[in-house]
Amino acid sequence: MRETNQTTVILPIHELNPITEELFKKSLKSINEQQLKPAEVLIVHTPQVKIKIQEILDELKFDKNYYQLVENKTDKTDFCSQVNLGVEKTETDYFS
């Protein structure tokens, strides 16, 4: 059983290119390697990157149920808007 705390990690993904894709993978690996895991991980993304994110999760063989996808279907996809959408969906008291 994985030990968790009451924190949500929000990963706002606006686009994926070779550089941001590698950073995204490193973020997922880092979360996965933590002994004290966040209660939830929300990957807030635009429709354009949804399939690529699912492919990355498949490639890394991480529990897809642990990493929750939150699709931003609005035209506000800047960093702050992505984080704010994640905060709206957060079910814990704290987020990062």
DSSP character string of 13-59: ES---HHHHHHHHHHHHHHHH-SEE-SEEEEEE-GGGHHHHHHHHHH
**How confident is the chain (96 residues) per 10-residue block, as mean pLDDT?**
76 94 95 90 95 92 85 93 95 92
3-state class (DSSP) for residue 69: strand
Q: Which two tokens stand for residue 70?
A: 């939150």
CA 70-73-77 angle, 5° bins: 85
* Centroid of chain to Cα 85: 12
Q: Which two tokens stand for residue 47?
A: 């429709």
CA dist 33 and 66 (Å) reads 14
Q: pLDDT at position 1, please?
A: 45
